[in-house]
């Protein structure tokens, strides 16, 4: 475990963070921060379990939210049962039941979907995801239709005597389960199953020749990833005490994909990074802008084209240079890259925001306010400034990128020697 200290630091920060923003004068917890951190925990589980498919087994699944959502719906019913006293399970073990529900659903659908791989697999999972999402709106008994199902999480049955009335207690429950699930998923990559998943991803015919059934490997990987997604869904249900159609809609599946891919599918910790980043963006940028999905979409496409290994992959490629002690030679090239990048970013964001304020913002009656003053979206000046920023920045960036590439190539050639 090379990154033991990093992991430990991450856990300590996660435990301490709510207390850093504690309002000591009023003795109040920072509610927004805790709900954001809770959301991050669930999304970390979702993204990691999604990466069991995309990164480790090379399976592009589009129904991952199905298992998350089914875990959530099941947990609502379990909690209601526990509230009635018909289900004597302590709160701390509820996510385990949710995971088992996710596992059951994943076994059912996995037996169909994992017959195929690659493109056909993607299409089948798309169909399954749509099937479940549509069913959720139609059948009231289990899914509660459009209104969803609700519960009360104070079931008065806890291993540690906790009531789970406050968000903080729930957050620590989420944190504990996130750490457990992440550790289990990490150890799974070291088992023969995890290794065979990598083998079938890279060359399924050779895996077949050695005597393994790639379909079985896909199936087991799929089922287990459903189990972990179910845990995430269970935590979702406990936190919000309501589960609606959103928890298994296709947009959540897409979110899982975005988080795992942007974070980096080739490194185990990549999806964690992606989940934290996307959740931050979601709760930060979506308050400011109508069009945060455009930014995420553009970021995603640029990653697919320019950096298929994701953010964690980019960081990882710096490893050999860092070991050779030459990392500081990259500081100046990076700084030179930053200035035109900022120009491109500013121009692009400017154009997108101007455009969205022209239509969506106008319909909502909002006005664009920048640098303390209102900006007239119909005037030519802001459009021209953004356009020039984008153009000049783009040309400059191309020039700088070529220079950076030269430095990078010579450095990595030197390190290899």
Partner 1 sequence: MQIVLIEVLNGLVYGMLLFMLASGLTLIFSMMGVLNFAHASIYMLGAYLAFTISQFLGFFPALIIAPILCGALGAAIEIWGLRRVHHNGHTAELLFTFGLVFIIQRLVQMTWGMLPMAYRVPPSLDFPLFELYGANFPAYRGFMLLVSAGMLLGTWLLLKKTRIGLIIQAALTHPSMASALGHNVPFVFTTVFAGGCLLAGLAGVIGGNYQTTEPGMADAMGPIVFVVVVFGGLGSLAGCFIASIIIGMIQTFAVVIDYSIADLLRPLGVVLTGDTLLTELLTVPVARIGALLPLVMMVAILLFRPRGLMGTRDA
Residues that bind partner 1 (CB under 8 A): 54, 58, 60, 112, 115-116, 118-120, 122-124, 126-128, 130-131, 134-135, 138-142, 250, 254, 257, 261, 291, 293-294, 296-298, 300-301, 304-305, 308, 352, 355-356, 358-360, 362-363
Query: Cα separation of 5 and 189, whole Å?
Result: 20
CB of 260 to partner 1, least distance (A): 11
Smallest CA-to-CA distance from 234 within 170, 307, 298 is with 170
CB of 141 to partner 1, least distance (A): 4
Contacts 24+ apart (CB under 8 A), 126-132: 126/62, 126/63, 126/250, 128/63, 128/66, 129/62, 129/63, 129/64, 129/65, 129/66, 129/248, 129/250, 129/253, 130/250, 132/63, 132/66, 132/69, 132/70, 132/248
- The 10 Å CB-count burial string (b at 16+, else e) for 354-388 is bbbbeeebeeeeeeeeeeeeebebeeeebbeebee
CB of 125 to partner 1, least distance (A): 11
Of 7 and 307, nearer to partner 1 (C-beta) is 307
Of 279 and 356, nearer to partner 1 (C-beta) is 356
Of 4 and 141, nearer to partner 1 (C-beta) is 141
Of 29 and 150, nearer to partner 1 (C-beta) is 150
CB of 165 to partner 1, least distance (A): 32
Of 177 and 219, nearer to partner 1 (C-beta) is 219
Of 1 and 402, nearer to partner 1 (C-beta) is 402
Q: What is the DSSP letter of 23?
A: B
CB of 243 to partner 1, least distance (A): 16
CB of 250 to partner 1, least distance (A): 8
Query: Cα separation of 65 and 247, whole Å?
Result: 7
Of 120 and 342, nearer to partner 1 (C-beta) is 120
Element (H, E) at 33: helix 31-54
Query: Cα separation of 85 and 81, whole Å?
Result: 6
The answer to whether 102 and 226 have CB atoms below 8 angstroms apart is yes
CB of 103 to partner 1, least distance (A): 19
Element (H, E) at 149: strand 149-150
For the chain, helix, strand, coil in percent to 5 are 75, 0, 20
CB of 346 to partner 1, least distance (A): 18
CB of 140 to partner 1, least distance (A): 7
Of 167 and 214, nearer to partner 1 (C-beta) is 214
Which segments of 241-330 does DSSP mark as H helices, in order?
250-263, 270-288, 292-306, 310-317, 319-323
Of 171 and 261, nearer to partner 1 (C-beta) is 261
Which segments of 85-166 does DSSP mark as H helices, in order?
94-113, 118-138, 140-143
């Amino acid at each position: 475990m090379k990154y033991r200290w990093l992991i430990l630091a991450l856990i300590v920060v996660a435990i301490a963070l709510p207390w850093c923003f504690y309002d000591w004068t009023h003795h109040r917890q920072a509610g927004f921060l805790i709900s954001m951190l809770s959301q991050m925990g669930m999304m970390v589980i979702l993204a990691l379990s999604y990466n069991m498919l995309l990164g480790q087994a090379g399976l592009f699944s589009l129904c991952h939210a199905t298992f998350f959502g089914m875990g959530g719906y099941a947990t609502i019913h379990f909690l209601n049962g526990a509230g009635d006293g018909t289900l004597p399970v302590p709160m701390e073990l509820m996510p385990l039941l949710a995971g088992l529900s996710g596992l059951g659903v994943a076994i059912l659908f996995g037996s169909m979907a994992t017959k195929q791989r690659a493109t056909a697999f993607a299409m089948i999972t798309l169909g399954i995801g749509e099937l479940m999402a549509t069913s959720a709106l139609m059948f009231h008994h289990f899914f509660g239709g459009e209104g969803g199902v609700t519960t009360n999480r104070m079931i008065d049955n806890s291993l540690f005597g906790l009531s789970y009335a406050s968000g903080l207690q729930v957050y620590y429950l989420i944190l504990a389960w996130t750490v457990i699930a992440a550790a289990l998923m990490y150890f799974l990559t070291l088992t023969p199953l995890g290794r065979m998943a990598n083998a079938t991803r890279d060359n399924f015919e050779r895996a077949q020749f050695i005597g393994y059934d790639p379909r079985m490997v896909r199936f087991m990987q799929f089922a287990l990833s459903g189990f972990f997604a179910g845990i995430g869904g269970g935590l979702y249900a406990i936190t919000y005490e309501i589960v609606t159609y959103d928890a298994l809609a296709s947009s959540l599946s897409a979110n899982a994909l975005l988080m795992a891919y942007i974070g980096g599918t080739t490194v185990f910790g990549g999806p964690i990074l992606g989940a934290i980043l996307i959740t931050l963006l979601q709760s930060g940028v979506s308050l400011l802008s109508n069009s945060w999905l455009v930014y995420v979409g553009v970021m995603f496409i640029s990653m697919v084209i320019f950096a298929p290994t994701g953010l964690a992959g980019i960081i990882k490629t710096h490893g050999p240079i860092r070991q050779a002690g030459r990392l500081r030679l990259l500081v100046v090239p990076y700084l030179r890259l930053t200035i035109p990048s900022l120009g491109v970013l500013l121009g692009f964001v400017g154009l997108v925001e101007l455009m969205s304020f022209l239509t969506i913002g106008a319909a909502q009656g909002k006005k664009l306010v920048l640098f303390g003053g209102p900006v007239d979206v119909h005037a030519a000046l802001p459009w021209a400034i953004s356009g020039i920023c984008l153009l000049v920045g783009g040309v400059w960036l191309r020039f700088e990128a070529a220079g950076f590439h030269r430095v990078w190539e010579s450095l990595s050639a030197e390190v290899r020697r």
